């Protein structure tokens, strides 16, 4: 089979391949670095960071569900300053795109974090808008176009690196949010974040999670994610990072055919630490079998009936 060029540019950032690991599923890479050289990845999207350290929600906060998991971890993290001091120097030793995921309670918090991280040398910032706006009674930024745009503008003014906004699927029309953040200056969008779900233990009659509901991820959400990536890629001009249930090269190829320029592997990392590399190799084999010279030829290649 012919050799496929796996290199690509995403929102102005060069990556050796289109495989990223999703925020919240890879920590800061240290554990996975014991299995393989994490520099083989196209990008590493770090665990979500907040302005100050957070302990997260009380347990139980992760539970298995058919074809996936539910989680309400609650953004447990050491805070942006500790990340810059203790984690980023180690990550920078590897030849991968470093993407910092940030969450805030106000646009001002997002702006401060984005400047700190840009100055510290991350390659890209992923803005998690599935967070409560304390000024609006806890309403999530990502469900109202104007609020999502406000956060995007604040981050763009402070960041000196490309800004990607992570979109929530828990909305009526995800393309409306995508268009809003594009108009506000976003360089890319990533989707989907987890789908809100719930399970109940019928013996105890209690929810399986202490916080009652949580985010559903894993293979169960793949068809939802592919559909939303297709919708968004047809609605905006900026590149899309597709994620949600990817665990094979075929899954990744579906995302790219739907319009994603790159893909992120998430929950599969919990099952198999080598999942991202296997997705990369399987995707390359699919591209080679279709006689493609570059993996980027898959993007948007869906054939209409």
CA distance 184 to 178: 10
Joined tokens for residue 147: 């609020």
Q: What is the pTM of this model?
A: 0.96
170-176 mean pLDDT: 96
Contact predicate 226/254, CB 8 Å: yes
- Best CA proximity match to 21, nearest among 102, 83, 99, 82: 99
Among 97, 131, 136, 303, the active-site one is 131
pLDDT for 130: 81
Residues 211-259 have pLDDT tens digits of: 999 999 999 999 999 999 999 999 999 999 999 999 999 999 999 999 9
Whether the predicted pLDDT of 70 surpasses 80: yes
Residues 94-144 have pLDDT tens digits of: 999 999 999 999 999 999 999 999 999 999 999 999 865 556 555 688 999
Residues 185-205 have pLDDT tens digits of: 999 999 999 999 999 999 999
Q: Give the domain ranges of the chain.
A: 8-56+74-195+215-298
Task: Please state whether beta strands 19-21 and 43-45 pair in parallel, antiparallel, or not at all (unpaired).
Answer: parallel
- The average confidence (pLDDT) of the chain is 95
- Best CA proximity match to 101, nearest among 35, 33, 9, 193: 193
CA distance 149 to 47: 23
Does the active-site annotation cover 46?
A: no
- The fold of 8-56+74-195+215-298 is TIM Barrel (3.20.20)
């Amino acid at each position: 089979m012919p050799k496929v060029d796996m290199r690509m540019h995403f929102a102005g950032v060069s990556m050796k391949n289109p495989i990223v690991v999703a925020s919240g599923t890879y920590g800061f890479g240290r554990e996975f670095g014991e299995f393989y050289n994490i520099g083989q990845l196209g990008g590493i999207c770090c665990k979500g960071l907040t302005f100050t350290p957070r302990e997260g929600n009380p347990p139980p906060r992760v539970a298995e569900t058919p074809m996936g998991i539910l989680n309400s971890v609650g953004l447990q993290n050491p805070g942006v300053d500790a990340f810059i001091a203790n984690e980023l120097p180690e990550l920078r030793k590897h030849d991968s795109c470093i993407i910092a995921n940030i969450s805030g309670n106000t646009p001002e918090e997002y702006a401060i974090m984005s400047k700190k991280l840009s100055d510290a040398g991350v390659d890209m910032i992923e803005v998690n808008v599935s967070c409560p706006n304390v000024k609006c009674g806890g309403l999530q930024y990502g469900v109202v176009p104007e609020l999502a745009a406000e956060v995007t503008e604040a981050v763009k003014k402070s960041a000196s690196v490309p800004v990607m906004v992570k979109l929530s699927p828990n909305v009526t029309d995800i393309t409306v949010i995508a268009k809003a953040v594009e108009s506000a200056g976003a360089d890319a969008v990533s989707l989907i974040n987890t789908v809100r779900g719930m399970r109940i233990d019928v013996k105890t009659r209690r929810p399986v999670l202490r916080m009652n509901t949580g985010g559903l991820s894993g293979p169960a959400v793949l068809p939802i994610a592919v559909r939303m990536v297709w919708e968004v890629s047809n609605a905006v001009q900026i590149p899309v990072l597709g994620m949600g249930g990817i665990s094979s090269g075929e899954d990744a190829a579906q995302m790219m055919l739907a319009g994603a320029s790159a893909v992120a592997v998430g929950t599969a990392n919990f099952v198999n630490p080598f999942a991202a590399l296997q997705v990369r190799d399987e995707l390359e084999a699919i591209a080679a079998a279709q006689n493609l010279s570059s993996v980027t030829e898959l993007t948007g290649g869906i054939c209409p009936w």
